[in-house]
Amino acid sequence: MSKNPTTIIIIVAIILAAVIGFMMIAPSQPEQTMVEETITPPDGGIETGGIELGAAPYALSGTNGEMITEKSFPDKYKLFYFGFTRCPDVCPVGMGNITAAMTALGADADKVQPIFITVDPAYDTLQIVQEYLAAFDKHFVGATGTAEQIKAAQDSFRVYASQAEPPAAVEATTPEQTQPAPPATEHTHDAHADHAAVSTGMINHSDYIYLMDKSGKLLNVFPGNTDGQTLASNMQTVLAAEMIPPADGMPTAPVETAVPVPDAIPATPEAAPAPAE
C-alpha cells in the first residue's frame, strides 16, 4: 500500500517547522572558554580588571645593594619586567623596548626606575644579572633571590614562569663533537660556570611590562613587544598629569592647585621710558 506523496510532504514540513521553532525559542548557551578575553585599550596597554598587581609583599636582593620590595623607590615611577639572562629572544626585545623608552624620555628618565626581576634564580646570581643589565639602560636595577622569594614576586604580579622541557640530545656527527671538554682551571672559573649545571633548560614565562606609580599602584600593563615610543608616550602622559616639575628645575604649580598651562608667548621688550623734558 503506497502513501499519498502530498501527505508525506505535509508531514515533513510540519516536522521541520517544529524543529526550527524549537531552535528559535531555546535559550542559547554561551561558548565556554578557559582563557578570559584580553582587551587592548587605545593606549596600547592591557585591561587588568582592577587587579592590584604588584601589591602583595615580596623581598628580593637588588643589584643596587638594597632589598627590592613592593615599597621600593617611593619617589619614582616604576617599570617592572620579569625575564632571565639566558633568554634568547623575548627578553632582549622587552628589555630593549624599555631602554628605548628611557632614552626617549630624555632628562625625565631620572623620574622612572626600570626594574628587571629574574625568573631563573637557580642560574641568575646578582653578579650575572648585573653583567646582563650592562647592555641596557643605565637606570636599570636587577633583582634575584631564592626560589621562594622569586615565586612570591611572581605571584604578586601574577607572572607565569615554568621550566621548559630540555631539547632532545643530538648525537655527535663529527670527530670534533666527540672530543671531551677541556678541564676547568682556576683561570676559567666564573660566576656563570657555578650555575650552568643547575638550570640548563629554557624558561617559558609571561612577557609584560608593568608601569607603577610612586606608591606602587599599577597604572598600566604593556606587552613586552610594545615599542619604546609607545611606552615613552604613555609615561610622558602620566608625568604631565601628575604635574611633575620639569628636569630644568623650573617651579610649577602644586598638584592641589594645578591649572592648565597656556602656550608660551614670546617675550617682547618693554617700551623704554620717555625722556624727561
CATH of the domain at 63: 3.40.30.10
Evaluate whether residue 216 is within a structural domain: yes
Average pLDDT over residues 33-46: 37
Does some domain include residue 120? yes
Q: For residue 95, is it within any domain?
A: yes
Is position 50 within any domain? Answer: no
Identify the residue with better confidence: 130 or 23.
130
Counting the structural domains of the chain, the total is 1
Kindly indicate the confidence band of residue 55, based on its pLDDT and cuts at 50, 70 and 90.
confident
Grade residue 248 by pLDDT with cuts at 50, 70 and 90: low
Assess contact for 244 and 235: CB atoms under 8 A.
no
Q: How many CA atoms lie within 13 A of 266 on its CB side?
A: 2
Higher per-residue pLDDT: 52 or 193:
52
Q: How confident is the model at residue 27 (pLDDT cuts 50, 70, 90)?
A: very low
38 pLDDT band (50/70/90 cuts)? very low
Residue type, 226: T
Give residue 241's pLDDT. Answer: 85
Domain of 136? 59-165+192-239
Residue 277 lies in a domain: no
pLDDT digits (tens, 9 = 90+) for 101-115: 999 999 999 999 999
> Is residue 276 included in any domain, yes or no?
no
Average pLDDT of every residue of the chain? 74
Average pLDDT over residues 60-66: 96
In whole angstroms, what is the distance from residue 221 CA to residue 209 CA? 6
CA distance 15 to 21: 10
Which range, of 156-160, 181-185, 219-223, averages the lowest pLDDT?
A: 181-185
Residue 54 has a pLDDT of 84
User: Would you say residue 41 has pLDDT above 50?
Assistant: no
Q: Label residue 201 by pLDDT band (50, 70, 90).
A: low
Q: Which residue has the higher pLDDT, 249 or 177?
A: 249
* pTM of the complete model: 0.62
Contact between 116 and 143 under an 8 Å Cβ cutoff? The reply is yes
Domain for residue 47, yes or no?
no
Pick from 93, 89, 155: nearest CA to 119 = 155
Q: Is the pLDDT assigned to residue 69 strictly greater than 50? A: yes
* Rounded (to 5) percent helix, strand, coil in the chain: 30, 15, 55
Q: Is the pLDDT of residue 266 over 70?
A: no
Given this model, what pLDDT does residue 190 score? 39
Query: Does a structural domain hold residue 260?
Result: no
